[in-house]
Every structure is written in C-alpha cells, then in structure tokens.
Structure 1
Amino acid sequence: MLKLSALELLSPARDAQTGIAAIDHGADAVYIGGPAFGARAAAGNTLDEIARLAEYAHRYDARVFLALNTLFTNEELPLARKLAFDAADAGVDVLILQDMGLLAGPLPDIELHASTQCDIRTPEKAVFLEKAGFSQMVVARELSLDEVARIRARLSPETRIEYFIHGALCVSYSGQCYMSEALVHRSANRGACAQLCRLPYDVSTEAGVPLYKKKHVLSLRDNNQTEHLEALVDAGVSSFKIEGRLKDASYVKNITAWYRNALDAIIARRPELSRSSAGRSTFTFEPSPEKSFNRGRTDYFIDGRKFDAPYDLAELETPKAAGAPVGILRAIEPKSLLLKPRDGVTLANGDGLTYRTAEGDVRGFSANRIEPAAKGLVRVYPREATERLSGLLVGATILRNRDQAFSKLMAGDTARRRIPVTLAFTVTEDALDLVVTDGTSCGAASVAMELDPPANPEKNRASLAANLGKLGDTVYEAADILIPEDLDVFVPASIANQLRRAAVEELDRERILARRGTSRKTPVAASENPYPEPILGFNANVANDAARDFYAAHGARVTAPAFEIKPVANAPLMTCRHCVRAQLKLCPKMVKAFPEILEKTDRALLRPEPLILTNSAGERFRAEFHCRRSPCEMTITKC
C-alpha cells in the first residue's frame, strides 16, 4: 500500500500506446478501459494490450488501473467478475469500481478504488466505502479544499484520496446525471453519455419571458488546478488525476509532462514527499496546457462558492476549443487576411484559427498558407474565400486552436524516462566486480581474469567509465560511476560490457522481486458498517440483485432500482453545484458584492425562482435553485 506522502500522477490511457506515452512523460499510474464495462464505452482495449501496458509500466514501478466502473445487470455481473480476474492476470494493479454488486462475490486480491461515479461528497460516504474494502477514493470534482480536508481527517492513514486536477468537467455530480439516459437511452452510468450538457439552450422564466437565446449554460470550462496542487497536497490528496480517456496521445503527453514538472517542483522543496514510481523524464518540448484541446480554464469550486467573486464557469458561446490568442486582424483582403501576431507567436501552414463574432459566436478556419508581410504583419491565406468568413471584422482578436508545428512535434518521440543508478567498480585479488544500484535494489557481477597493468592508466580509466555508462538500451541512466582513483588494472571494453550487462540483468530481476503487488483491503463486517442513509432511491444506482443485497446487509433499504432499469417520472436528471442563475448574473446572493446587477436587471428576475431551458428540439427542462442548501445546488428536471 502506498504511503499518503507518495504522490501519484495518474494519467488517462485511451489505449496501450497512449498509456506507454503517459508513462514515458512522467505518469506514476495510468487508468485504462478493458474490453467492456468501462465508463467510456468508446475506449475499450483487449487484455493483451493491457498486459503490454502493465509490463511496460511495471519497469518503472508505475501502476495500471482498470476502469470497471459502469453499472451491471444481473446477466452482466458474472462477466464483469470474470473480467476482473482476467485483468489481474494481465498485470492490472487496481480495479476502479462503481457497482457494489461486485463486492458481493469473489474478486482478485488487488486494490479496489471507489470511482467518481460513486458520488463521494461527504466524510460519511468515504468512511463507509473505506470499511467496505476500498483503498482509494475518487472524490467528487466539486469538492473544495476544506471538504477534502474533512474527508481526509476521517479516513485511516492507509486510505488515499484521488482528485481530478485537469480536463473536462461534468456539470452534474458524477453518478447523478440521468439526462442522456432519459432522452436518448444512452446512460452516463454505463459509459455512453451523449453529452447533452454541451448543447445550446434558450433560457426563459416560467412565465415565458425570454432571457437568453442559444447559450451553452450547462457546458463548463475545463478543470485546471495548476495553481492549487500544493494546497491539495496539504488538504490530503495523494493521487492527482488527469481526465481524458478519449483524448489522443498528444494531449496525454503534453498534460502529463506539465503536471509532472509541477509536482516535481513541490516534491523538490518538501523532503517529506516523494514520487510513487521510479525514474525521471526529460522532454524535447515545453509543456503547455494552452496548446492542447481546452474550453478555457476554471479551478471550479476549489475555494468553495464565493458570492463576492465573479462567476464564470460555463463557456456560454461554444463547447469547442476556441484556443489561445495569437494576434489582431489588421485587414481583410479578397484572398487573404493581414494579421499582427503577438510577441513570440509564430504561425504555420495548417494552423487552426478562430474568432468571435459581434454576437459572441465562435467561428474558425484553417490557414492554408502563411507568408510574411510588411511592418511585422503576416499574410494568412484561408482555405476558404475571405467573404465566407461571416462575422469577421477588422480589429478582431484571432485565436489558434490547432498549432500545426506543435502537433508535428508531439507526433514524434518527445520524452525519455530513465531510472538513475550508481555503478561501483572494484578490483579484488583476481577478479573485477561491478555493483549497480537504484538506491533500493542492486545487481552485481564479477569476472575472474588475469589482472594486467594498463599501458595508459588515465585512458584506461576513462574508457572503463564510458563503457560502464552505456545504458542506452535499458531503463537506466548512470547518475554516478565510481571507479578507484588508483586503478592499476587494464579492463578491456568487452569485459566492461560483460560486467555491465550481467549486473543490470540482475538488477532487473531484483527490482521485479522487490516490487510488491497491491492487495485488496479487508472489509469490515457489514453489521459493523451501516450505510449512512437508511432509505435509498433510484439515484443509488442499484442495477442488480447483488447490489441490492449489499445495501440491505449494510442496513439500507433500496426502494427503487437504477434509472436505467426503471425510469422515474419527474426525477431530477441532473444535480449540480454549477448555477445557471449565477452564470447569467441572476443570483440574488451576488447582488451585495455586485450592486451593478440591479442597475441592469429587473429586481423580479433576481428571485431564486425556476428557469426554463429549451433545446433546439423544443424539449423543455426546469432548473430549480436550492439556495438554502449548504452548499447551494441546482437540479434539472424534464418539463
């Protein structure tokens, strides 16, 4: 079991090759979907591919998590259980679970982690899951530092907290979103979310007064906790998770490298902290989150809900990546655009460029060709005629959401990960010895031979150091090579190479033997671990008899099966901390800090009454605002 002070950077893996890239770029662990039953149905992998990833990860003492975190029907449960055992045989270290039905029967002896789909928001829920046998809690993305710290205070020192630090945000609490299932029969709890939150909605009062047209009021900006990593450490987080099992290798490389550097900087100045895997990565590029797909950035509710601070969590105009500003448009010509680039910005053929219209819409085009122009300008030839770029005006800020040069760079080899070792060479009476150690394990080799003096001692010593340091085809790099200053024995290159290879092979074997596999936490008796709530409805997500019996054994009665088994009329389809009223500056709690709201808004609109959201298909939803809850919440129901 890892110590709380062993920080873990956890990266997504769409497939084995992406997972290997994540490891190379500094991930301490990766999470991946198997052939079925992962909460990203489009990101499945064969067991052979998972085994390949595990073998690679384990070279660096990195771990592989299998996402087995959907809901299972009675018929699927035995198949999911078999997959759990097959995954363990393939080398998987951890199972990420949501469905408590799996706990009712045999599982492999590896760690179980409670998925974000378990909706862990309270210390009581976390303690229950810990006692049920989970070693790591993926707490809700919405939690503040204070809420995380309160959970940490209630857990044992053996149980770790995992927190999302980057990537897309679900607007609803994870595990509590039923809109996709209700409207298009694609369950978010079964890995098939249709992402209806990314659509535009008209907003009106219940009386029918229109307020906004075609705004993406439920589409949140992307999570970025770069500035809060150390505060999260202090709050009790040990595992730092990057979202994105559907993202490509370029994204995973860049974002993993970014957070690797950030966490290493914290570890370097705090000796009580360490990494949870071995090796260090070097990069051929400068990591930057702005160069990967993003919808803008937010740190969400990390500091709690602040009514005296601006609220801007949703990207109202588009769910797409608008990109980073690269320049100002100076002129529009029949076949080209004249652009003044920002300092330090270089544009390239194939770049994807975007702009905002006067109405706030985000539109884009590809740069077919870029040429220098006079007075520090560049001439951009779009792939389409400039007159077709509707809403583009001189003076507009041009943004770039596809950096072609960066994309080409990221398509190649961009990182190298090596484990530092010390090589110590010594001479005995009739043999040459070498010990190679990574600080924990070591390998040794010896060659008996006649010991002749060197013709050139200085050259002999330099040649020996060079040959011992040839570790390029291994996972190691020479941090230090120790050779006696008074070496008076000639060491042929063939002997040095033989010693190095044999010692490294033994080090490999010793590191494998020393690597401890993770084991499942022993659960306490159900009678000693009552569920925090005695009555459970559909939102407990009970999809099979074993899960129902699990909750019954823990003293909770399930009154309705999962929404996917039996839809519930008038049920809340989303439960959110995000607030449409706050986003639209109609929150009554913000008026004191922002009195200008009253200058622009009818006071009647500031009452916390429901609003109606209507999509392009004419489907209507009621957003209700529960301002007296702590923290306040919003629920969405179908009208």
Structure 2
Amino acid sequence: MRKPEILAPAGNLEKLKTAINFGADAVYVGGSKLNLRAFADNFTNETLAEGIKYAHDRGKKVYVTLNVFPHNDDLEGLEEYLVELYELNVDAVIVSDPGIIMTAQEVVPNLELHLSTQANNVNYKSAIFWHKQGVKRIVLARELSMKEVKELKDKIPDSCEIEAFVHGAMCMSYSGRCLLSNYIVGRDSNRGECAQPCRYKYHLVEEKREGEYFPIVEDDKGTYIMNSKDLCMIQYIPELVEAGIDSLKIEGRMKSVFYVASVVKAYRGALDAYFEDPANYKFNEKWLEYLMMPSHRKYYTGFYFDEQEKQVYDSSAYEKSYDVIGIVKSFDEKTMTATIEQKNKVLNGDTVEVLKVLGDNVEIVLKDMKNSKGEPIEAAAAAKMIYTVTIDECLEENDILIQFKGEK
C-alpha cells in the first residue's frame, strides 16, 4: 500500500506554517488571482515565495488554486500569472476550467495540474479524459461513494492520482457549484465570493398566504433546510487507504490556525498509526477528541456510505468553542519558562490546554506572568503581545495554547 499524503488548507502564511508543523505533507493555498476564496487573506507573490521555501525546506509541497470559472475579464493577465507561479516553484496548480488548463499547457507545460473538485469528476471515463489532457491528479467530486471511488481508481492509469476530501464543511450544491449567492446578494460563488446563503435561516411561505409560515419551521428562528453537516472520515482511515486514494484533503482555507493544527494532528496520528501496523490497527478516541475541539458542525461521513441524515435542520451554529490563547515562540527548560505570543486574553493563574506539535495534549497553569520588559502582569490582554509564564510541563516551539469557552 502507498501511504497517502495529508493535504491541509492554508488561508495565509501563518496557517501554512502551522499545517506543516503539525504534520501535513502538502498544503493548498490561494494566490492573488482566480481562486475560490476571494475573502481569505490569500498570498501575495512575496508571502507565497516565503511559504514555498518553508515547505520545501521541510520536504513538503505547496499547491496553488486557480479553480474559478472565469469570465472573459478574469482571463486578463492569466499567462503572466501562470509564469510567475512556475518561477516561484509551486508544486502544482488546482484548476477546473478548460481554458485555464489549455493556457497552462501553452505557457508552462511542465507545471503539474490537478483537477479541482469544482469540475465534478464522478466517473473513471472523465478521469481518463482529463488525464489525457495533461492533468496529473483528479480531485474527486464529493458526491462519490466509497465503492465508486474504488472502482474509479481501479480503472484509471497508475500515472493518474486521485485526491478526495475527508474532512470539513460540505456544500449543499453539486460539487460546490452554487448560484444562491449570486441571486441573493450578487456575489459569485463560482468566482470566489460565496456568501454562504445555505446557512441562512429560512421560512416557507405559500404565495397567496403572506405571513403564514409552513409548519416545517423547527423553532421561532426558522429552519435550516440547506445546512449540511461537516464531513469527518477520521474513523475510516483503513477504508480510505484501501480505496487507493493518493491524497486525503482537508477543507478549510477560511478557518482558524487552531482548526488547521488540530485537524492535521488528528489525521496525521491516525494515518501513521495505521501504517505502523495495519493488521492490528485500532482507532484511538483521542483523534476524534482533537476534531471535536475547534468549532464545527455535527459530523457525518458525507456520501462515502449510506448515511441518511446529511442535514442539520434545527441550527447553523457550531458545536463547541475554544479560543486560541497563544502560540509558544520559545521554551527555556532550565527555568521552565515559555515565551508566548498572545492571541486572546488570558489571566495569570489560568488553566489552559496545550495542543502540542508532538505528543498528546496537556493541561498547564500559567504562573508568574510577565510582559516583554520582565514586569509582572495579571493578564495578557494586548493583541499579539509577547509575554512569559512559568509552567510545570516542557513545551515546544509552535505549540498552541487553547481555552474552552463552552457550548454554542
């Protein structure tokens, strides 16, 4: 069996570094043009160059998304942008539009192409077609069952890779190709501007009975008839591997550093454990616990299996809420002092949890809090301030301090 790569989202440079530090084999990012997350931080050419160097220095890969469905105006400057990406040494670009694919083959024929899930590839014939057009990897549509994934993999050339989403938000529309946002708020979801109207609250009203609400309403706030659960396949690592998937993809370029770290850590741990001893592999509940910590909707297995309840009808709220308190910048074992970059307010004496780059999470008490001048303080309240604390556990650079804030 070939060990699949773990592919993580990176909405900005900090998330890129976090994903790699916590175990991702590759990251996918949005550059300055033509990606489907127009409101993410995204990367300038300068920050992309820094991110690529950070990844390559550690033997990891960076893929750049160019997966919009472009209108004529969007194609201006495409050739120059593709050349820029090639010269930055990106490992692949993720594309969905035949025009962009054709242009890439003309101006940067050696740049690896991955077909976006937006192209909704759901059968082996289509995969073979795209592979013949020069596409190295097919990012499968999320509407496929595990049985269909296996069959597709068995019938395509060995030189054609497949990538499949295994975790994160799902779209109510086919392969994410939705027009709701265009009609309701004038933002084109197929050009990176989705307002996620599927998460809005809706009432059903009969045309001639204005003000009379149909009794599908779950509560006085309305119903959430298009609100999908979040995908989670952490308990099915053996099945994903046996299906022949080459890359396990995590959704979430708009999500937090904490989300990226905890999800990558969970899948890294599960995948490595399986390959250490496939015959005796057992699921460890701690991996699911990592996934329950960042904000998420109720989990399900998407279309992989015959799971009936795919929607959340009573709420669009997230299940839990943790705050990231800080990031460990350095640790002095002699004095047991950690230097922290503040992310949210925390008090001297607070108990927090540490999401560790290596090893299991631990709880620590923050003692003897001091600012960068060495002066005692009772709280780290200023954004991004650097402070020190004395603790009883050894930490590592890039460990993340988190604090539970209760159910939402």
**Scaled by the length of structure 2, what TM-score is found?**
0.72
Map Cα deviations across residues 214-249 of structure 1 (whole Å, 9 max, x no partner): 111111111100112211111121100110001121
* CA apart distance, 1:177: 1.4
Deviation at 1:186, TM superposition (A): 1.1
Seq. identity, %: 31
Q: 1:369, 1:15 → 2: CA distance?
A: 25
- 1:66 corresponds in structure 2 to 64
2-structure distance, mates of 1:167, 1:175: 13
Equivalences for 1:533-612 in 2 at 5 Å?
none
Cα separation, 2, equivalents of 1:104 and 1:32: 21
Q: 1:76 is aligned with what amino acid?
A: D
Q: Give the drift of 1:91.
A: 2.3
2:153 and 2:346 map into 1 onto residues whose CA distance is 54
Deviation at 1:286, TM superposition (A): 10
Is the aligned partner of 1:302 residue 2:304? Answer: yes
**What are the residue-to-residue correspondences of 1:134-533 with 2, within 5 Å?**
134-203=135-204, 210-213=214-217, 214-270=222-278, 288-304=290-306, 311-323=308-320, 405-406=352-353, 409=354, 414-415=356-357
User: Equivalent residue for 1:9?
Assistant: 6
Aligned residue for 2:174, secondary structure, equals coil
Code of the residue aligned with 2:131 in structure 1: it is E
Q: 2:23 is matched with which residue: 14, 23, 26? A: 26
Instruction: Please give the per-residue CA displacement for 1:257-312, whole angstroms capped at 9, x wherever unaligned.
Output: 010001101111249xxxxxxxxxxxxx99611110101111122113x6xxxx32
Residues 232 and 300 in structure 2, CA contact (< 8 A), matched pair in contact too: yes
Instruction: Flag as ranges the 4+ runs of structure 1 deviating above 6 A.
Output: 204-209
Q: In the alignment, what sits opposite 1:76?
A: 74
Alignment-derived partner of residue 468 in structure 1: none
Give the Cα–Cα distance (whole angstroms) in 2 for the partners of residues 83 and 287 of structure 1: 41
What SS does the aligned partner of 1:212 have? coil
Q: What letter matches 2:357 in structure 1?
A: A
Q: Is the 8 Å Cα contact of residues 198 and 226 (structure 2) preserved in structure 1?
A: yes
Match for residue 52 of structure 2? Answer: 54
Task: State whether residues 95 and 114 of structure 2, in contact with CA within 8 Å, keep that contact through their aligned partners in structure 1.
Answer: yes
| Structure 2 segments unaligned to the other structure (5+ residues) | 280-286, 326-344, 360-395, 398-408
Instruction: Spell out, residue by residue over 1:433-464, the C-alpha distance to the aligned partner (whole angstroms, 9 max, x if none).
Output: xxxxxxxxxxxxxxxxxxxxxxxxxxxxxxxx
Distance 2:243 2:288 in 1: 29
Moved more, 170-179 or 93-102: 170-179
- Note the alpha carbon deviations across 1:543-570, whole angstroms, 9 max, x for none: xxxxxxxxxxxxxxxxxxxxxxxxxxxx
Q: Which residue of 2 aligns with 1:98?
A: 96
Q: Contact 1:118 / 1:175 at 8 angstroms: preserved in 2?
A: no
Return the index of the structure with the highest Cα Rg: 1
Amino acid at match of 1:77: L
Q: Supply the distance in 2 between the matched residues of 1:287 and 1:181 (Cα, whole angstroms).
A: 37
Q: Which amino acid aligns with 1:405?
A: V
Q: What is the alpha-carbon distance in structure 2 between the residues aligned to residue 48 and residue 60 of structure 1?
A: 19
Q: Write out per-residue CA displacement over residues 312-356 of structure 1, whole angstroms, 9 at most, x where no aligned residue.
A: 2222222121328xxxxxxxxxxxxxxxxxxxxxx99x9xxxxxx
Q: TM-score, normalised by structure 1?
A: 0.47
Alignment check: 8 A CA contact 1:205 1:211 kept:
no
- Alpha carbon RMSD of aligned pairs, Å? 3.1
User: Where does the alignment leave 5 or more consecutive residues of structure 1 unmatched?
Assistant: 272-284, 325-346, 351-367, 371-402, 418-471, 474-639
Deviation at 1:131, TM superposition (A): 1.3
Check whether the contact 2:9–2:252 (CA below 8 A) recurs between aligned residues. yes
Q: CA deviation at 1:132?
A: 1.2
Tell me which residue corresponds to 1:481. none
SS at match of 1:162: strand
Q: How many Å separate the matches in 2 of 1:99 and 1:163? A: 19
How far does residue 69 in structure 1 lie from its aligned partner after superposition?
0.8
Query: How many residues end up aligned between the 2 structures?
Result: 321
Aligned partners of 2:116 and 2:138 also within 8 Å? yes
CA distance in 1, matches of 2:357, 2:293: 17
